[in-house]
């Protein structure tokens, strides 16, 4: 085994121009989300690569022109050896017209030891490194005894959870590694859920009636929903402060669990008292919590706030949580997950990292979110491990260190080989 792996490590060094060319090719596919609906060409390129490497390939549309790609490489003895999912998203962050790039966001260049282009760090670098690792294993004639599943999914940047659709389609494994941006740390993550809180009056009033609802003797039991939403926001701030005091999680700064009042929409016209107001919130929560749990906590607290207000008591707030797309229905969910440091696959990944870097990897938590939560939510032990750092993710002149890409590819070769040879 060691001889095979050592040979492939040298191959990564000797053939790094091919690896760089693969990443540059992926970057040239313009897959920003939003606007999305633009990944078909890139996904078919990856599907064809997987077919050439002996995978059976499943391609299906999640949205028009946005297909998922899943390749399955059956092992020689899949019943007795461990299986692995490698997961990554093909969409990249949006690009504004006024951003100033070295050349263009989708015209990748190499400069000062880095590849510059949209998606280099988040996360086409991870996809390219993992694909190249699989390619070198294939070319060396190494047929793993365990099954290998490669998922290239859509929609992560806008909460469309192509990974969730893979889980619904029945793809499972003994372990999953999400090769998203982690700076080669092995990470779990907190979660995110968006929600809408709506206040709606049972009656609509002309603005000339406002005096009757706010001054003595007016005798009109009514209110502006915009003004009443101020009480809801104050209630959310109170709960947020309570969470900061009462909750914590190793690796997160106190108060990382936040409730952000992101967007407010209310009223219909200046000649009316606002009869409806909607507040869009984003809730960040810790890895040991679920989105169902935190949504319930928010609802329970805000309902108690409403019970203390004479108008809100009879016009209680309404809640809508989550969604399948920030584009389609203005909502998203990213489940949290914890990495079990005692899981055999985590130990194997740590050993693979150590074999390249001669030091232990950092085990911590990501300050952002990925699709890994959906895999973990489906009962698949999962870890985040990929090249690139969050300072470059989504940035102008986004870039990835070529050295880190090479080292990541080596780690993946070692890990895929070792885990694929691990008996159940």
Q: 107 pairs with which residues across the strands? A: 104
**354 is a catalytic site residue:** no
- Cα–Cα distance between 368 and 393 in angstroms, integer? 11
Nearest to 413 by CA among 13, 80, 121, 69: 13
**91 is a catalytic site residue:** yes
- Cα–Cα distance between 19 and 401 in angstroms, integer? 13
Contacts of 171 (CB under 8 A, 6+ apart): 70, 72, 85, 149, 151
CB atoms within 10 A of CB 337: 30
Strand, helix or coil for residue 137: helix
- Cα–Cα distance between 86 and 127 in angstroms, integer? 9
Catalytic residue among 66, 91, 389, 398: 91
Strand, helix or coil for residue 290: coil
Distances (CA, A) of 101 to 22, 27, 149, 364, 396: 21, 14, 35, 32, 6
Strand, helix or coil for residue 266: strand
Backbone torsion region of residue 204, taken as left when φ is above 0, otherwise alpha when ψ lies between -120 and 50, otherwise beta: beta
Catalytic residue among 58, 66, 122, 156: 156
Nearest to 345 by CA among 239, 186, 204: 186
- Cα–Cα distance between 74 and 144 in angstroms, integer? 8
- Cα–Cα distance between 135 and 53 in angstroms, integer? 6
Where helices occur in 308-401 by DSSP H, the ranges are 344-357, 372-377
* Inter-residue contact 29 to 107 (CB < 8 Å): no
- Cα–Cα distance between 60 and 68 in angstroms, integer? 6
Give the pair of three-digit tokens for residue 176. Answer: 């999953």
Residues annotated as part of the active site: 91, 156
């Amino acid at each position: 085994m060691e001889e095979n792996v050592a040979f492939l490590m040298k191959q990564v060094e000797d053939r790094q121009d091919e690896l760089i060319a693969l990443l540059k090719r992926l970057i040239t596919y313009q897959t920003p989300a939003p606007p999305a609906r633009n990944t078909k060409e890139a996904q078919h390129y990856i599907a064809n690569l997987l077919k050439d490497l002996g995978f059976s390939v499943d391609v299906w549309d999640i949205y028009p022109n946005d297909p998922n790609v899943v390749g399955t490489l059956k092992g020689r003895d899949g019943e007795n050896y461990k299986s692995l999912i490698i997961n990554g998203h093909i969409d990249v962050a949006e690009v504004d017209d006024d951003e100033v790039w070295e050349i263009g966001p989708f015209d990748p260049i190499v400069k000062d030891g880095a590849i510059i282009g949209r998606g280099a760090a988040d996360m086409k670098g991870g996809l390219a490194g993992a694909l190249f690792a699989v390619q070198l294993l294939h070319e060396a004639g190494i047929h793993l005894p365990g099954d290998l599943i490669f998922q290239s999914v859509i929609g992560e940047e806008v909460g469309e959870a192509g990974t969730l659709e893979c889980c619904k389609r029945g793809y499972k494994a003994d372990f999953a590694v999400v090769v998203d941006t982690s700076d080669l740390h092995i990470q779990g993550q907190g979660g995110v859920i968006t929600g809408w809180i709506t206040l709606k009056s049972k009656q609509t009033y002309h603005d000339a009636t406002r005096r009757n609802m706010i001054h003595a003797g007016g005798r009109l039991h009514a209110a502006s929903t915009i003004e009443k939403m101020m009480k809801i926001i104050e209630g959310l701030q109170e709960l947020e402060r309570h969470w900061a005091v009462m909750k914590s999680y190793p690796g997160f700064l106190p108060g990382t669990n936040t409730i952000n009042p992101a967007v407010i929409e209310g009223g219909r016209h200046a000649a009316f008292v606002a009869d409806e107001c909607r507040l869009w919130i984003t809730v960040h929560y810790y890895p040991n919590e679920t989105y169902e749990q935190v949504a319930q906590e928010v609802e329970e607290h805000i309902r108690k706030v409403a019970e203390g207000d004479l108008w809100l008591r009879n016009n209680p707030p309404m809640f809508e949580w989550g969604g399948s797309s920030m584009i389609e229905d203005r909502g998203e969910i990213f489940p949290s997950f914890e990495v079990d440091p005692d899981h055999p696959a985590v130990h194997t990944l740590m050993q693979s990292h150590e074999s390249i870097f001669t030091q232990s990897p950092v085990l911590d938590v990501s300050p952002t979110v990925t699709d890994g939560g959906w895999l973990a939510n489906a009962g698949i032990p999962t870890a985040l491990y990929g090249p690139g750092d969050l300072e470059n993710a989504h940035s102008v002149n986004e870039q990835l260190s070529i050295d880190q890409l090479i080292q990541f590819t080596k780690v993946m070769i070692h890990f895929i080989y070792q885990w694929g040879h691990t008996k159940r």
